[in-house]
Amino acid sequence: MGEGRAQPGGTGGDTTAQRPLAGMSFEDALQELEEIVRSLEGGKGSLAQAIADYERGAALRQHCERKLAEAEAKVQAIVEGPGGPTLRDVE
């Protein structure tokens, strides 16, 4: 009856099938987040599914923000050296 989102990549309504965030790339997390936004905007499915999707979306957003912060730190770590730009160590 339209409940859940059976999407490729395991982003459907079954929370046990969700990929762990720690291993997801920025691009994969962003794609899943976009799918969740489309689903929520569509307004189909149950309230419980919408809440679960919103919670997953919030976690994905935080993951994307962390990935962007890591990338920004790496870009800021590029320094001009005698042999051209180099990357200094970043934790």
Task: For residues 66 and 32, give the distance between their C-alpha atoms in angstroms, rounded to a whole number.
Answer: 16
Counting the structural domains of the chain, the total is: 1
On the question of pLDDT at 68 being above 80, the answer is yes
- Confidence class for position 11, pLDDT limits 50, 70, 90: very low
- Could you tell me the CATH number of the domain that includes residue 25? 1.10.287
Domain that holds residue 48: 15-87
Q: Is residue 69 situated within a structural domain?
A: yes
Q: Is residue 79 situated within a structural domain?
A: yes
pLDDT of residue 80: 64
Q: Model-level pTM?
A: 0.67
Q: Is residue 8 situated within a structural domain?
A: no
Mean pLDDT of the region 74-83: 75
